[in-house]
Structure 1
């Protein structure tokens, strides 16, 4: 098993942003994927949805602060979008191609993840991909976050931004995660 770290970058903007950093790690071991996000900021400057007593599958989570990742299979146009709200709500969408054929992915009836908030905020998701992807396939992934600031400005964070506008669906911004029997990543 191999653990890789990341730091997300904001989409370039003329807005003055509060001091904020999003880092984390990603691990793939066979078909188990673990992503750990760490938001370091003055959390009073970020709109964080309060924890829900009954987290459910919800649409349009990206309109608020939301941790996301996009998964594709190398040499295939299809991909999945995973949305994780700090409130505990979630959703997974399947696309046939770039922004085409968006449907709710029914292979997942729950998407458990942990959120911890103190001075910073962390979110950890550990997911078995067996229902949607074969273990020996090379994954392509984009790790992203939408941050809604207390002044109502929304910023878009990703490993890289390849378009003229913030667009997490661009496959050029996905990175490969090969399957490895020994290393996992």
Structure 2
């Protein structure tokens, strides 16, 4: 698991850590996992059923950014514990945003205990650019009282910005055929 750090201008209240990683990639699914420790005050959006939605980042939301090559374009995935989701294409940093067609909906599951929460997502690979990718995993965490913290592998500016190329710090190879 890769340790995410909170943006220093937006520290959490009770959340102690957020970790994220890709847990599987094959010809059909990209599987990701986020683990939150200190989840006792976590705000989880209510179940809404699968479907596209905008503005998911306004409460607890898990995000992935991936770029298939060294070009300026990239894909943003927003995944909510409510089971709502969206996927966007960008032609450049925060430029040219358009919904990306998805042949099948992602599958999202949240498990919450007294201190730990796990969020798993399975994203259909046929809706994503062909791997290999440089990618970044991130999370917006809302705690009771409307308090939000912003978690990523890197924070390079005074305001949280998951679109910063410095956030694309990890790499994944194309899946094998076996």
Bin of the TM-score, shorter chain as denominator length: 0.7 to 0.9
Determine which of 27, 40, 51 is the counterpart of 2:37. Answer: 40
Cα deviations by residue, 1:68-94 (Å, 9 ceiling, x for unpaired):
111111212111111111111111111
Structure 2 residue 5 is the aligned partner of structure 1 residue 6? no
Give the one of 81, 84, 88 matched to 1:89.
Answer: 84
* TM-score normalised by structure 1 residue count: 0.83
* Contact 1:141–1:175 under 8 Å retained in 2: yes
CA contact (8 A) 1:138 1:176 kept: no
State the match for 1:133 in structure 2. 129
Shift of 1:108: 4.2
> Per the alignment, in what secondary structure is the counterpart of residue 161 of structure 1?
coil
Q: Distance in 2 between matches of 1:118 and 1:16?
A: 18
What is the TM-score with the length of structure 2 in the denominator?
0.86
Aligned equivalents of 2:31, 2:79: Cα separation in 1: 13
State the shift of 1:11 in Å: 0.3
Question: 1 CA distance for matches of 2:170 and 2:12?
Answer: 33
Q: Report deviation, 1:18.
A: 2.0
1:107 aligns to 2:92 (yes or no): no
The CA deviation at 1:118 is: 2.4
8 Å contact 2:21–2:137 — kept in the other structure?
A: no
Cα separation, 2, equivalents of 1:61 and 1:180: 29
Q: CA RMSD in A?
A: 2.4
Kindly report structure 1 stretches of 4+ aligned residues shifted beyond 6 Å.
Answer: none
Q: Take 1:14 and 1:123, find their aligned partners in 2: how far apart are those partners?
A: 22
Is 1:179 the equivalent of 2:173?
yes
Instruction: Confirm or deny: 8 A CA contact 1:92 1:108 kept in the other structure.
Output: no
Equivalent pairs counted in the alignment come to 176
